């Protein structure tokens, strides 16, 4: 039996994950029995060719997409085992997301976009606002809080998206191609920012990227090929 200290260090684990999609008349197997374990405070980069299953795996690990078979355990609890309301609260309180397309609401300021997850989670307004302002300052947007997304550069919009993902102080953050819409220099800066913020508070980071060079900056690099980790 695994010693308690070692067991508690596992933040997320997956066992025999399988997922397929119907494409016309045929079935495409995307995940083919994936086993995976991620430790607390670890930064893991998932790489692979387009269509290899990187994003499907990330969504499954993050509680967004139920596998056809297999299981995901997050902080000692099995994902997908509770009702939709409980799973939504888990994601809102303990898991953060950064997406390639930013997904900022165009009519809201940077500060208001960052505050949205705390409002959904019914967190006290005053502390949430103070935390949002602090995070935006730390990501270099102290002077841009009242700007709309259309008034921000791509790199600035991604920084807002990072701040939004961190507002509820999640223990694990998932980032799906967070540099995909950015030039190489800005992308490298965004990755360094993510790594710095995660390591500072010993949070766990999982990044999907097609850029093998950026993936070398994490603690571990995993390659997905033909639905399996190789």
Residue 5: pLDDT above 80?
A: no
- Reported confidence tier of residue 211, pLDDT bands at 50, 70, 90: confident
pTM of the predicted protein model: 0.91
User: Is the separation of the CB atoms in 88 and 52 below 8 Å?
Assistant: no
- Reported confidence tier of residue 50, pLDDT bands at 50, 70, 90: confident
Closest alpha carbon to 104 in 93, 91, 115 = 115
The C-alpha torsion from 117 through 121 and 122 to 124, rounded to 10°, is -60
Residue 4: pLDDT above 90?
A: no
Classify residue 113 by its DSSP letter.
Answer: H
User: CA angle 210-62-145, nearest 5°?
Assistant: 75
- Reported confidence tier of residue 51, pLDDT bands at 50, 70, 90: confident
Closest alpha carbon to 161 in 90, 93, 100 = 100
Measured N-to-C along each axis, helices 110-120 and 154-166 cross at an angle, to the nearest 10 degrees, of 20
Q: Does domain 4-229 have CATH number 3.40.190.10?
A: no
pLDDT at 104: 97
Rounded CA-CA distance 136/22 in Å is 42
Place of tokens 């596992």: 10
**89-139, pLDDT tens digit by residue?**
999 999 999 998 999 999 999 999 999 999 999 999 999 999 999 999 999
Residue 6: pLDDT above 90?
A: no
pLDDT at 96: 96
**172-187, pLDDT tens digit by residue?**
999 999 998 889 889 8
Phi, psi of 137 (to 5 degrees): -65, -40
């Amino acid at each position: 039996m695994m010693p308690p200290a070692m067991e508690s260090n596992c933040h997320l684990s997956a066992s025999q994950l399988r997922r397929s999609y119907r494409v016309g008349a045929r079935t495409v197997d995307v995940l083919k029995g994936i086993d995976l374990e991620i430790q607390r405070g670890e930064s893991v980069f998932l790489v692979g060719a387009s269509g290899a299953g990187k994003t499907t795996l990330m969504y499954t690990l993050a509680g967004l997409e139920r596998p056809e078979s297999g299981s995901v355990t997050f902080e000692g609890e099995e994902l997908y085992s509770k009702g939709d309301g409980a799973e939504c609260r888990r994601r809102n309180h303990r898991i953060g997301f950064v997406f390639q397309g930013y997904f900022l609401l165009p009519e809201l300021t940077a500060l208001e976009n960052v505050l949205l997850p705390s409002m959904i989670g019914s967190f006290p307004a005053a502390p949430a606002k103070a935390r949002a302002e602090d995070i935006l300052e730390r990501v270099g947007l102290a002077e841009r809080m009242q700007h709309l997304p259309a008034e921000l550069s791509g790199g600035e919009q991604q920084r807002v998206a990072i701040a939004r993902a961190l507002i509820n102080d999640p223990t694990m953050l998932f980032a799906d191609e967070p540099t995909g819409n950015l030039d190489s220099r800005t992308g490298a800066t965004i990755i360094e920012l993510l790594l710095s913020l995660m390591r500072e508070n010993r949070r766990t980071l999982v990044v999907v990227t097609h850029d093998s060079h950026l993936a070398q900056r994490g603690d571990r690099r995993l390659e997905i090929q033909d639905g399996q980790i190789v």
